Amino acid sequence: MGCREVHAATVLAFLSGTASVAGLLAAVLLPNWRQMRLCTFNRNERNLTVFTGLWIKCARFDGSRDCVIYDPQWYRAVDQLDLRVLQFALPLSMATAAAALLLCLVGMCHTAFVSSVPNVKLAKCLVNSAGCHLVAGLLFLLACAICLTPSVWVIFYNSYLNRKYEPIFSFDISVFIAIASAGGLFFTSVLLFLWYCACKSLPSPFWQPLYSHPPSMHSYNPQPYSARSRLSAMEIDIPVVTHTS
């Protein structure tokens, strides 16, 4: 595996990161973070389920898809701490992952379209694709942590609400989508880290986001003829005398 070619690992990482960002966007927009089911014992009435999202709230009767109560201003009056944290965490995670995708794309484009031997005068100003992928992997890992922590907290906070009030709360599909997206971000970062470790040569520095010198300068320079080499030649010409008993 080399840095001079667009490898399947980097392409798979880019696709995985894109799918994870799309999953985060779906989790942010869907009003399915928490359900509150209100049951009635009156046969003339139907049970009601309140679907709570990050931005809207919708109440539906059983067997109906229409919202009898629709609150588009819910994001202003969120009274549940975990959802309030998610309102800030998930967009921040999406922005971080989008920046990582941009860096990953820049690294792949640099690998595919830029010459492998840079100009000596511009060597310190050129982008290194390996450095782009390394920074992108770190950003993907950061986006995973920002998304995963509050998403898992929803599950524990749901149990807290059931203990505090009544067992009528349950987490919905958006929680699973967000956790799966966080797993995709982690998988993407692992792919980029593995590509970086296999791509970089051992003598080079671990952190090298920019070219320190062009690859042509890594060529071997023969050492001048030294006195030691002359001495070695003289030693070779000295005859060896052995004593036998």
CATH number at residue 94: 1.20.140
Does a structural domain hold residue 17? yes
Does a structural domain hold residue 60? no
From the number of C-beta atoms within 10 Å of its C-beta (0-12, 13-18, 19+), residue 104 rates as buried
Does a structural domain hold residue 181? yes
Hey, what are 158's tokens?
């749901």
Does a structural domain hold residue 167? yes
Does a structural domain hold residue 219? no
Quote the domain boundaries for residue 97.
Answer: 6-33+77-111+128-198
Nearest to 185 by CA among 54, 107, 94, 108: 94
The count of other CB atoms within 10 Å of the CB of residue 78 is: 18
Domains in the chain, number: 1
Measured distance CA(161)–CA(159) in Å, rounded = 5
Does a structural domain hold residue 121? no
What is the pTM (predicted TM-score) of this model? 0.72
Does a structural domain hold residue 38? no
User: pLDDT tens digits, the chain, 245 residues: what are they?
Assistant: 445 555 778 888 999 999 999 999 999 998 888 888 877 776 666 778 888 888 888 888 877 777 778 778 877 878 888 888 999 999 999 999 999 999 888 877 776 665 455 444 444 445 567 778 888 999 999 999 999 999 999 989 888 888 888 788 888 899 999 999 999 999 999 998 888 877 665 444 444 444 444 444 444 444 554 444 444 444 444 454 555 54
Nearest to 86 by CA among 23, 140, 142, 149: 149
Supply φ then ψ for residue 48, to 5 degrees.
-120, 135
- The confidence score (pLDDT) of residue 227 equals 45
- In terms of phi and psi (left: phi > 0; alpha: psi -120 to 50; beta: otherwise), the region of 202 is alpha
Does a structural domain hold residue 84? yes
For the chain, count helices (H), then strands (E).
5, 5
